[in-house]
Homo-oligomer: A and B are copies of this chain.
Amino acid sequence: MQMPEPSQAIMNQREALAVALRQIVGQEWVISDEAERRPYQCDGITAYMAMPLLVVLPGSAAEVQQILRFCHERGVKVVPRGSGTSLSGGALPLEDGILLVTSRLCNVLEVDAPNRVARVQPGVPNIKISEAVQHLGLCYMPDPSSQLISTIGGNVAENAGGVHCLKYGVTANHILGLEAVLMTGEIIRLGGAYLGAAEGEMDLMGVLTGSEGLLAMVTEIAVRLEPVPEVARVISMSFPSVEEACACVGAIVGAGIIPAGLEFMDRKVLDAVSVLIRETFDSNTAALLLCELDGTAVEVDALVDVVSDVARNQGAIETKVSTTEEERQRIWSSRKLAFSAIGKLCPDYYCTDGTIPRNKLPEVLNKMADMSVKYGLDYANCFHAGDGNLHPIIMYDAAKPGDLEKAEAFGADVLIACVDAGGVLSGEHGVGVEKRDLMTHQFTDIDLNQQQMVKCAFDPAELLNPGKVFPTACRCAEFGRMHVRNGAIRFPDIPRF
């Protein structure tokens, strides 16, 4: 992984910058002490680490404005960070950049039940939004696995998904308005606090959502609230082969049903999980699907019958349907514990994500088996089958020299196989640093250039989260203008910890 060479000149100014930034946010909200900066040196991918120049915790949008204006004037880089659960290195600090952490911007500002919207600050953990509105029978739908910890600001930056995004859509489908601070310190307001508020304006809100902190620092978010579905039931379906399970995924959607969630677990995951949940799975089961259906009671009952029929026709060995909420939770626990369970099988694991058309699932899963042999590393599969979003879990031992590199190469091969199958590099984890150098495999130079033009339209000096997403530096700034369509500056190596 290569990152831009840190600026020694900036690094030498650490204390002077700290003094200036403390005048904006107050003494205690700038962390310069090395030991106190250490907890911030990586995000959810611990393979990549760098110590931030300073950690700054603003308490208001006005402070964010002042910080960015100050950094813009001094040419200091800025990396935004929520809770640091990113799985692609999007919040990896820079040694010559400040880490701008949203922990103090953690208030639910307003709940407007009639218009079904909540205005929140970026540092609010995802789950806290639903908790704040559950007494109204409402919830915030997108549910990344990290939802207890990950912040809504980080969810916006990564356009986070989750089990229920098959039916309800990803973060972008649930954001009605954004307030964001540009690197110049100027505030832009996009959309608003009700459905339709973004009609008739250029969709900059969509561009910011999923832009991985490269365009602006979001300071307020208007999220869409939805009624909690009246009923949810889950069907567990076991299959004698991976192929039959994959075919069933297509058959369910082909029957006109978009389940609330449709998850796949292979035998390796089931074996690992059965230790934790103290339940065994039929020995003929090669793969299990969990299909959640929600809606009104009559609707769900009807859908349960259809899905059960489809599963039987597709060769399911067994189908189990939850009849109570407790049963539903118990059935889901196998999926929820999957990653912890795999963690007990190996010293370390590496999980990547790519998305493919649903009908390409068997092809790419078969390729993974070959890759496992090639790299001599074991793996397991537990993923969002309904939207073709793969999450291969590659097991390795970081203490073994070369093992991490092999795991990374395995992961890269999976992503390349996804792109070659007509898919994409990312489902919900973003590109960050992890997949950055694979972007040229998915996009043409023209496509990448156009994306970088838009980046430059927001941040021409490339001070916001540089070195992420794009494999080459944009040359716009160098030429003082846009539309330089050739040439590429390679980044030097970043030391690995």
B-binding residues in A (CB < 8 A) = 113-116, 137, 159, 161, 170, 172-173, 182, 184, 186-190, 192-204, 206-207, 209-211, 227, 250, 253-254, 256, 295-296, 298-299, 302, 355, 357-359, 387-389, 422-428, 430-431, 435, 442-444, 446-447, 450-451, 453-458, 460, 469, 476, 480-483, 485
Chain A interface, DSSP helix/strand/loop, else mixed: loop
Residues of B close to A254: CB separation below 8 A: 113-114
Residues of B close to A190: CB separation below 8 A: 447
Provide a sorted-by-A list of 14 A–B residue pairs whose CB atoms are within 8 angstroms: A115-B357, A173-B173, A182-B446, A196-B355, A196-B424, A200-B426, A200-B431, A201-B442, A201-B451, A202-B211, A202-B469, A204-B207, A204-B450, A460-B483
CA distance A248 to B460 in the complex (A): 49
Residues of B close to A431: CB separation below 8 A: 200
When C-beta atoms are compared, the residue in chain B nearest to A230 turns out to be B256
**CB-CB under 8 A for A454 and B457, given A189-B444, A422-B194:** yes
Residues of B close to A423: CB separation below 8 A: 197
Shortest CB-to-CB span from A471 to chain B, Å, is 14
Residues of B close to A188: CB separation below 8 A: 444, 446-447, 450
A481 is contacted by which of B207, B227, B427, B482 (Cβ under 8 Å)?
Answer: B482
A424 is contacted by which of B197, B357, B389 (Cβ under 8 Å)?
Answer: B197
The answer to whether A207 touches B387 (Cβ under 8 A) is no
Residues of B close to A256: CB separation below 8 A: 137, 227
Residues of B close to A206: CB separation below 8 A: 172, 203, 206-207
The answer to whether A458 touches B450 (Cβ under 8 A) is yes
CA distance A296 to B301 in the complex (A): 12
Shortest CB-to-CB span from A305 to chain B, Å, is 11
Shortest CB-to-CB span from A479 to chain B, Å, is 9
10 extra interchain contacts, Cβ-Cβ under 8 A, other than A199-B389, A199-B424, A200-B431?
A114-B250, A170-B199, A184-B485, A196-B389, A196-B427, A197-B357, A197-B424, A199-B355, A207-B454, A227-B256
Shortest CB-to-CB span from A148 to chain B, Å, is 23
When C-beta atoms are compared, the residue in chain B nearest to A415 turns out to be B200
Shortest CB-to-CB span from A138 to chain B, Å, is 9
CA distance A423 to B176 in the complex (A): 13
Shortest CB-to-CB span from A54 to chain B, Å, is 26
The answer to whether B296 touches A253 (Cβ under 8 A) is no
A451 is contacted by which of B202, B210, B469 (Cβ under 8 Å)?
Answer: B202
**CB-CB under 8 A for A443 and B210, given A114-B254, A457-B456:** no
When C-beta atoms are compared, the residue in chain B nearest to A251 turns out to be B114
The answer to whether B204 touches A454 (Cβ under 8 A) is yes
**CB-CB under 8 A for A116 and B202, given A188-B446, A424-B192, A482-B456:** no
When C-beta atoms are compared, the residue in chain B nearest to A449 turns out to be B186
Shortest CB-to-CB span from A156 to chain B, Å, is 12
The answer to whether B428 touches A199 (Cβ under 8 A) is yes
User: Which of A189, A256, A359 has the most chain B CB atoms inside 10 A of its CB?
Assistant: A256
**CB-CB under 8 A for A207 and B199, given A188-B446, A194-B422:** no
Shortest CB-to-CB span from A246 to chain B, Å, is 12
Shortest CB-to-CB span from A58 to chain B, Å, is 20
The answer to whether A253 touches B116 (Cβ under 8 A) is yes
Residues of B close to A450: CB separation below 8 A: 182, 188, 204, 457-458
The answer to whether B424 touches A115 (Cβ under 8 A) is no
User: Which of A296, A444, A457 has the most chain B CB atoms inside 10 A of its CB?
Assistant: A457
When C-beta atoms are compared, the residue in chain B nearest to A254 turns out to be B114
A194 is contacted by which of B227, B302, B358 (Cβ under 8 Å)?
Answer: B358
The answer to whether A189 touches B482 (Cβ under 8 A) is no
The answer to whether A203 touches B200 (Cβ under 8 A) is no
CA distance A483 to B184 in the complex (A): 10
Residues of B close to A296: CB separation below 8 A: 299, 302
Residues of B close to A114: CB separation below 8 A: 250, 253-254, 358-359
The answer to whether B443 touches A201 (Cβ under 8 A) is yes
CA distance A202 to B426 in the complex (A): 12
Residues of B close to A446: CB separation below 8 A: 182, 186-188
Residues of B close to A196: CB separation below 8 A: 355, 387-389, 424, 427
When C-beta atoms are compared, the residue in chain B nearest to A428 turns out to be B199
The answer to whether B426 touches A199 (Cβ under 8 A) is yes
The answer to whether B199 touches A427 (Cβ under 8 A) is yes
CA distance A211 to B170 in the complex (A): 22
When C-beta atoms are compared, the residue in chain B nearest to A461 turns out to be B483
CA distance A206 to B30 in the complex (A): 37
